[in-house]
Amino acid sequence: MVQGRKMKMILLLIIQIVMAATAANVTYDHRALVIDGKRKVLISGSIHYPRSTPEMWPDLIQKSKDGGLDVIETYVFWSGHEPEKNKYNFEGRYDLVKFVKLVEEAGLYVHLRIGPYVCAEWNYGGFPVWLHFVPGIKFRTDNEPFKEEMQRFTTKIVDLMKQEKLYASQGGPIILSQIENEYGNIDSAYGAAAKSYIKWSASMALSLDTGVPWNMCQQADAPDPMINTCNGFYCDQFTPNSNNKPKMWTENWSGWFLGFGDPSPYRPVQDLAFAVARFYQRGGTFQNYYMYHGGTNFDRTSGGPLISTSYDYDAPIDEYGLLRQPKWGHLRDLHKAIKLCEDALIATDPTITSLGSNLEAAVYKTSSGSCAAFLANVGTKSDANVSFNGKSYHLPAWSVSILPDCKNVAFNTAKINSATESTAYARQSLKPDGGSSAELGSQWSYIKEPIGISKADAFLKPGLLEQINTTADKSDYLWYSLRMDIKGDETFLDEGSKAVLHIESLGQVVYAFINGKLAGSGHGKQKISLDIPINLVAGKNTVDLLSVTVGLANYGAFFDLVGAGITGPVTLKSAKGGSSIDLASQQWTYQVGLKGEDTGLATKDSSEWVSKSPLPTKQPLIWYKTTFDAPSGSEPVAIDFTGTGKGIAWVNGQSIGRYWPTSIAGNGGCTDSCDYRGSYRANKCLKNCGKPSQTLYHVPRSWLKQSGNTLVLFEEMGGDPTQISFGTKQTGSNLCLMVSQSHPPPVDTWTFDSKISNRNRTRPVLSLQCPVSTQVITSIKFASFGTPQGTCGSFTRGSCNSSRSLSLVQKACIGSRSCNIEVSTRVFGEPCRGVVKSLAVEASCS
């Protein structure tokens, strides 16, 4: 007995010693997060685990690590983890513990942003919709029922992380947690209660005793010791609310989200790199890309409303998990350059001096002799040559040069050393005989969804109901149905002149069926107003209105109360004017969801599928089903929904999200090439105007078998599913890059040894590498050393060109996966004296 107790004590002691050895002490001071007594310069990137699959996580995390990240930042998605009160889900894409452990295995840290309000273009900002029905609840304010639920969920997550020993204080990877999210942006709308709510949030979080610091983003009044952090396209001007807190940036928007009906936003990497470099130049030590991998809004998880299913975000890793080049590569180089400055950066505040108008130097100099400098040109128009410590430096407009030894340039944000690679959708014919669409069409079966009320749980109510309160978001769909008797009322029955049905809705889509026929439809974010000319008959008429939500609001004060659905007025007017009948106040019949949702057409087998031809197409409200073979290879899979209208799709029972290829981006605001110089805004750089916002929809490979996969879709507006194509997303085979004589040499060759650097590091190099390891460079489509013009894909020779350009590049590159060519007259000869020359190359791999 005594022996047993002794053994136990020894064991406990051993555990404590091991724990002490692995547990990290995370604190902070004015300069940085401090891990085990050492200040850290950290580079972080957001990956939201439910926006990809557990099978994708290891690769995404590895690509993040290879890109130079130290930290993965993620929100925690309450609505996914607790879809029904007290019924938790930590499986599959919601396996948070697995995600955090994978990050740990890769040797990276985690910033866990619990929220639990997260915004994030996520349905209802991450709140489960049942929360709305808690008696007496008011969201995000000093309200007991809300605080109780918020505390319960936050505690649940913290306890789970503790149980799994995932906090750094326990030896795990989590070095920082966030409570709330950007409340400071909207708190004035909540009056005095906002102050007490934020104080309560802070002390509630602290009481959970995670052993690591907490942050609040966009919260200038964050109480000590919460670190208030910055979100935005730039945060170099930000200062935390206490001199004892480090300057941290929790969301640097690497691009922007896409909305249905909108053109695609993108953010040039030169500007993104500029923003990052400016932040570290101005004393920052922690920066996070929102997003580093954006991913996909599967199922009905997108918020908004009207946020697309793709959450690509123009992030360094694209929606499908492929590297976006040169964005990923240029940022990787930037991270290396920043890390070369780490010793100096953490030691001191920068000394900032002006080098002329719009020109700024920041120097970090330590007593032990390290010195790092950042030289910035914040002008938007003119490049500059600046003199710094007696040397001259070329600074393009809107750029920062990083000098890890205060002498040599390791990196300039506007000078890209990484090649551009395009990605392409490769359509695959899925049948061995190359199945034409007609053949494929014969493999489709269908079920018509009844128009109007068809389910037993339909109910009657006088007046028009708000949709979220009625459906509790169990479905996107709500039927509003009315039977009217038109008794010889000539005004509404006049031949040739139709009656007009006026409908007003809070969104997002309305289909109006009169006597079983689609009479009109419309969509809008928060307001739809329709005047639909209709034909009525003498006697009984039916008005069936199908209202469809496309994601619930996720942002703004009181976003939870904006509402949706047909709240009226709804009136029937005679076309000639004069009489009008108010329909809003009548007795309506309601049906939440579709019959096909209740019978589980997406996930279960049904004997109702009809496979005899002809397949009905271009008709509203039809369920379609087909089987298909997985596209060959291992590349990510996408379905092109062109030809269909709008709806939801499932592959092997998994919802791949809402599709809507007929949602067309407006015509304004797009530019072929967007000038990266000058302040970025979400609508500064747009592409894809006048085209469908999203045609391709990601199907994770792990959801597919080799053959016999089922695709089910519910088509709302009418389309032709036989036009759907399956394919893979591939890194294109083209590489191109232009490197000038004024580019810094590759950052990988950096050395602090000045002797070596003088010999080998002085010249820039153009490096190419085929993205796929089995590929080699097979042809050089363009090569010119001199003054080549244009951009990737459209290079032309300038007046100055070395005649050896093509043969030299061919010799260096063809037949190899990668090649490096020094950009200098030593290699190419001198085609024109006194001019800064560039080498532009376009190559293809196969």
List active site positions: 182, 251
Query: Which of the ranges 117-125, 462-470, 713-721, 753-761 carries the binding residues for ligand GAL, by CB under 6 A?
Result: 117-125
SS3 state of residue 132:
helix
CA-to-CA distance for 412 and 745, rounded, in angstroms? 10
Task: Please give the angle made by the CA atoms of 643, 646 and 650, to the nearest 5 degrees.
Answer: 95
Residues 325-364 touching ligand GAL, rule: CB under 6 A, are none
- The reply on whether position 711 binds ligand GAL by CB under 6 A is no
Burial category of 639 from C-beta neighbours within 10 Å (exposed 0-12, middle 13-18, buried 19 and up): buried
User: x/- contact string, 218-237, with ligand GAL (CB under 6 A)?
Assistant: -------------x------
**Part of the chain binding ligand GAL (CB under 6 A), chosen from 33-41, 98-106, 116-124, 741-749:** 116-124
* Under rule CB under 6 A, residue 299 binds ligand GAL: no
Binding ligand GAL by CB under 6 A: which of 46, 52, 181, 728? Answer: 181
Shortest distance, CB of residue 681 to ligand GAL, whole angstroms? Answer: 13
Question: Counting contacts by CB under 6 A, is residue 120 touching ligand GAL?
Answer: yes
- Cβ of residue 559: shortest distance to ligand GAL, in angstroms? 11
* Shortest reach from residue 231's CB to ligand GAL, in Å: 6
Region of 82-90, 114-122, 421-429, 717-725 interacting with ligand GAL (CB under 6 A): 114-122
The rounded distance, in Å, linking the Cα atoms of 766 and 822 is 6
- Please, are residues 232 and 663 in contact by the beta-carbon 8 Å criterion? no
Binds ligand GAL (CB under 6 A): choice among 70, 82, 104, 251: 251
In sign, the C-alpha dihedral spanning 129, 132, 134, 138 is positive
Instruction: Tell me how far, at minimum, the Cβ of 251 lies from ligand GAL, in Å.
Output: 6
Minimum CB distance to ligand GAL smaller for 254 or for 467: 254
Two tokens at 227? 């670190």
Q: Which of 47, 110, 112, 119 binds ligand GAL (CB under 6 A)?
A: 119
In the bound state with ligand GAL, the residue whose beta carbon lies nearer, of 112 and 534, is 112
Binding mask 140-179 for ligand GAL (x = CB under 6 A): ----------------------------------------
| Chain length of the chain | 846
Closer residue to ligand GAL (CB): 118 or 704: 118
> Least distance to ligand GAL from the beta carbon of 108, Å?
21
Nearer to ligand GAL, 557 or 827 (CB): 557
Structure tokens that stand for 361 in this block: 């130097």
Alpha carbon 562 to chain centroid, angstroms: 24
Task: State the number of CA atoms in the 13 A half-sphere of 629 facing the CB.
Answer: 12
Shortest spacing between CB 596 and ligand GAL, in angstroms? 32
How far is it, in rounded angstroms, from Cα 422 to Cα 831? 31
d(CA 313, CA 292): 9
- Give the burial class of 330: count Cβ atoms within 10 A of its Cβ; 0-12 exposed, 13-18 middle, 19 or more buried: buried
**Minimum separation from the CB atom of position 236 to ligand GAL (A):** 18
The stretch among 118-126, 666-674, 773-781, 793-801 that binds ligand GAL (CB under 6 A) is 118-126
Q: Residue 791 — φ and ψ, nearest 5°?
A: -125, 175
In sequence order, what are the beta bridge partners of 395?
Answer: 384
Burial (0-12, 13-18, 19+ Cβ within 10 Å), 616: middle
Nearer to ligand GAL, 258 or 402 (CB): 258
Among the listed ranges 4-12, 112-120, 426-434, 503-511, the one in contact with ligand GAL (CB under 6 A) is 112-120
Residue of this chain nearest to ligand GAL (CB atom): 119
Structure tokens belonging to residue 391:
């040397």
Selected binder of ligand GAL within 70, 82, 142, 182 (CB under 6 A)? 182
Quickly list H helices, 542-676: 595-598
> Which of these, 173, 166, 17, lies nearest to 104 by C-alpha position?
173
**Which CA distances in Å does 753 have to 392, 402, 404, 405, 742?**
20, 17, 12, 10, 21
Q: How far is the CB of 558 from ligand GAL (least distance, A)?
A: 16
Question: Among candidates 343, 359, 339, 356, which has minimal Cα distance to 287?
Answer: 339
Q: Is 257 in the site for ligand GAL (CB under 6 A)?
A: yes
In the 8-state DSSP scheme, what is residue 32? -
Among 73, 82, 104, 121, the residue binding ligand GAL under the rule CB under 6 A is: 121
Site residues (vs ligand GAL, CB under 6 A): 118-121, 181-182, 231, 251, 257
